[in-house]
Amino acid sequence: MGMPRIDGDRLWASLLALAECGATAKGGVNRQALSAEEHAAWRLVIGWARDAGLTASTDAAGNLFLTLPGSDPQALPVLTGSHLDSQPTGGRFDGVYGVAAALEALLALAESDVRPVCDVIAVAWMNEEGSRFAPGMMGSQAFAGVMSMAEIEAVRDAQGISVAEALAEQMAVFAELPRRSLGFPLAAYLEAHIEQGPVLEAREKVIGMVTGIQGKKTWEITLSGMEGHAGTLAMADREDALAAFSRIAQRLYEEIGGHDTMVKFTIGRLRVEPNAPSVVPAKVVFSIDLRHPDNPVLEHLGQRLLAICTEQTAPCRVAVKALVDAPSNLFDADLQAQIEASAKRREIPSLHLLSAAGHDARYMAPLCPSAMIFIPCKGGVSHAEHEWAEPTHVTAGAQVLLDTLLTLCTDTSRGEP
């Protein structure tokens, strides 16, 4: 008993246990959204939460909530968490760290003498990564009203399974969970995450106060041509979708990818049809992920990118589907200051930095004061099976999260409806 303190060993053990859900041979995880592997991770965190007297609930978008009740039912809740889904070759920390740290903070609070005034809720958002179902951050976008449930439910994975079907399956597996409404009012949102970049490690800091998230636009582009015989169809008569893709890709890498040192341009997925060695490709579907911290530059590059896709397509046809259009945002300055003060009190070195990666916190920021806490990851590596964070940093980030939550959930001047 006493003031709440993070149990670093318990937190590390929970991360290792969660890493077994979808573990890959190379030490990473493949725990994609709404999969059996993610269900297994849900079972673990729900079990740990219930053992500590917390309650579990979900909502129409398949977000998971674990609630430590406060003393005043009128006080708006404080929410903290991240996501449990991963990239197909994901690591053991991206997303899951923010959920495990949030739950550990709630367990530490539950075991302490402190009684929060408001509910403190840990959240695992549905489909942050967007690898099985694109775009990502569906759970937080549904919660924030940015995407409708109808839009989300219509999305299908590569096997043709819709989000509606996968959500129904999840609801059946966890049928006993009560449902919360989407977008319930909040006093604040905090998300802990590994940095996924090199800044903290290079500057020898352990805590990052995240100032905001750089802007991101994504598209799915479809190039349609005509299939034909690789041995008989004259080059001049072909409508080769892969040839069109090659022209487009080369221009995009040169002009968009080479625009300045800040731009990030990625073609991460490419599907060729019919994908047979002796058939002229009739269809190419590819993804584009474009990021830039400067919103006017992001806009300009987005327009140029679409112009290049159109100019270089003939004799094929192009169809463009915009998936994400999220400008750079800023997080709450007061919350950043509180995180900085929490780190200072524990004598943990910290700095302010912009997030180069996207996070659910982006969609929470317009709803309530929101902020993020970063910890370093080895070599800045993420979205990779060898992603790694040091146990001492994992504990430090969770302790700063807990200390900041403590200020928020015991401050009766906040969160009046």
Binding interface with ligand HGY (CB under 6 A): 128-129, 136, 357-358
To the nearest whole angstrom, how small is the minimum distance from the Cβ of residue 268 to ligand HGY? 9
Q: How far is the CB of 134 from ligand HGY (least distance, A)?
A: 11
Secondary structure of the chain as H, E, C letters: CCCCCCCHHHHHHHHHHHHCCCECCCCCECCCCCCHHHHHHHHHHHHHHHHCCCEEEECCCCCEEEEECCCCCCCCCEEEEEECCCCCCECCCCCHHHHHHHHHHHHHHHHCCCCCCCCEEEEEECCCCCCCCCCCCHHHHHHHCCCCHHHHHHCECCCCCEHHHHHHHHHHHCCCCCECCCCCCCCEEEEEEECCCCHHHHHCCCEEEEEEECEEEEEEEEEECECCECCCCCHHHCECHHHHHHHHHHHHHHHHCCCCCCCEEECCCEEEECCCCCECCCEEEEEEEEEECCHHHHHHHHHHHHHHHHHCCCCCEEEEEEEEEECCEECCHHHHHHHHHHHHHCCCCEEEEEECCCCCHHHHCCCCCEEEEEECCHHHCCCCCCCCCCHHHHHHHHHHHHHHHHHHHHCCCCCCC
Task: Report, in Å, the least distance between residue 360 CB and Mn ion.
Answer: 8
By beta-carbon proximity to Mn ion, the closer residue of 193 and 238 is: 193
Least distance in angstroms from the C-beta of 98 to Mn ion: 7
Please select the residue that binds Mn ion; options are 95, 130, 135, 376, rule is CB under 5 A.
95
Which one, 5 or 321, has the nearer CB to ligand HGY? Answer: 321
Residue whose C-beta lies closest to Mn ion: 95
Smallest distance, Å, CB 167 to ligand HGY?
20
Which is closer to ligand HGY, CB of 48 or CB of 286?
286
Least Å distance, CB 194 to Mn ion, is 8
Is 94 a binder of Mn ion (CB under 5 A)? yes
With respect to Mn ion, which residue has the nearer C-beta, 90 or 415?
90
List the x/- string, 50-89, binding to Mn ion by CB under 5 A.
----------------------------------------
Region binding Mn ion by CB under 5 A among candidate stretches 95-103, 141-149, 213-221, 399-407: 95-103
Residues that bind Mn ion (CB under 5 A): 94-95
